[in-house]
A = this chain, B = another copy of it.
Amino acid sequence: MSNSGYHVLSELETIQYVKKIPGLFSENALLICKELGDGNLNLVFRITEKGTSGKSIIIKQALPYARVVGESWPLTLDRSRIESDALMIQNILCPGLVPKVYLYDKEMSLTIMEDLSTHINMRKGLITRNQYPHFAKHIGTFLARTLFLTSDLALEPQYKKQKVVKFINLELCKITEDLVFTDPYYDATTNQFNPLMKEVIKEIWDHAELKLEITKLKERFLTHAQALIHGDLHTGSIMVTEKDTKVIDPEFAFYGPMGFDIGNVVANLLLNFCAHEGCSLDQKERLQYQDYLLNIVEEIWTIFEKEFRALWKGNESSFYASVQGYDDDYILRLLQDTLGYAGCEMMRRVIGLAHVPDLESIDDPKLRAKGERLALAIGQQLVLRRETVWTICDLTALVRYIKNREVDED
């Protein structure tokens, strides 16, 4: 990759850059640029036209290192290509469910895309207990279409393998391999957790069966090139309004196990569920919202499965379509993978480097530990019992059971 012309943009340079691109803004537009400062890895600029048009765009530029750590953690600029390519594919497969890409500049490692300032980050929405009546339908559809239509179920193997090569994502996969599947399961320096959780976490480090199952899930993450997955589909990668859903930030995209994406969505809803154990709401309101969250989990899977089966049936010419029972078998394995990866995500968000604001926003460490303990209990059981689960309701029943058990213990 040639990036000889690459340099990090300032806000002023970004305006100059944008002005040179025909069709974005009128020639005499007065533009305001602000770097939003909320990226872990990248610069994110919003450019707004002053005046009544209200027109705005986002420019996301990759830095040659991880912003959250600094230049000591170099990262390839190529992730910018992966992100824009993934967005373009997702936009074809699920029009309207990802931001539109206006331009990708390889040399500058930047992507100009639709501004979503009318949307809020789904995680923030869940923390303030908003409800999103269309979210399950949108994300279930997004998952079914992006996963099915990039897999061997829909593509000729030869074509799919070319995509596997295009989306080899060495460095960002390594982040996941380390921070999700490795570091949380021993006393790694990257871990940072609530000191009150130390005893429970030590039990996890000593839990041989759990570590074996985590390793099998890691092996699958490393070897199972099933579909072009988003790779980082937590609720912070989803922007919502009451009516709309947009999935953003697919820079971790690669060919991996479908259940990793579905599991990440489920886990982050469950992490919010757990955080509610540590909040100071009255019990009724808390239980209602927790019920709402479990209902969305069920609804997401139900919609996902329905859409996935419809795509399967619509693909009658494929060899797979005629194999009796293959759809049921495939979908059951997806559900079990989903549980496994959801469990990994829940545990690493309590033990590892990157925590979630749902729990972190609870100031009192004792209250936070209540939610964290529940997250670890659910995460463990999702991993350990994933192969005993047959329907999505088995999952939500398991969550309710563990919650009641943990709460009784208090």
Cβ of A281 < 8 Å from any Cβ of B?
A: no
Count of chain A residues with Cβ under 8 Å from any Cβ of B? 35
Cα A51 to Cα B175 in complex, Å, equals: 62
The interface residues of chain B lying within 8 Å CB-to-CB of A165 are: 165, 168
Q: Is the CB of B170 within 8 A of A326?
A: no
The quantity of this chain's copies bound in the complex is 2
B170 with A323: CB separation less than 8 A: no
Q: Name the distance in Å between A161's Cβ and chain B's nearest Cβ.
A: 5
- Please tell me if A240 contacts chain B, counting CB pairs below 8 Å: no
- Stretch from A212-220, A242-250, A287-295, A306-314 that touches the partner: A212-220
A152 with B211, Cβ < 8 A, contacts A158-B170, A165-B165, A168-B164 known: no
Decide if A107 is an interface residue (CB 8 Å cutoff).
no
Contact of A224 (CB < 8 Å), options: B162, B173, B177, B224: B224
Partner of A177, one of B157, B209, B323, B324: B157
Residues facing B in A246-295 (CB within 8 A) are none
Q: Does the CB pair B158–A171 fall under 8 Å?
A: yes
Q: Which of B152, B215, B216, B320 contacts A223 (CB 8 A)?
A: B152
A165-B168, A216-B329 known; 15 new pairs, CB 8 Å cut-off, are A152-B219, A157-B170, A158-B173, A158-B174, A161-B170, A162-B168, A208-B325, A212-B324, A212-B325, A212-B326, A212-B329, A215-B320, A215-B326, A223-B224, A224-B224
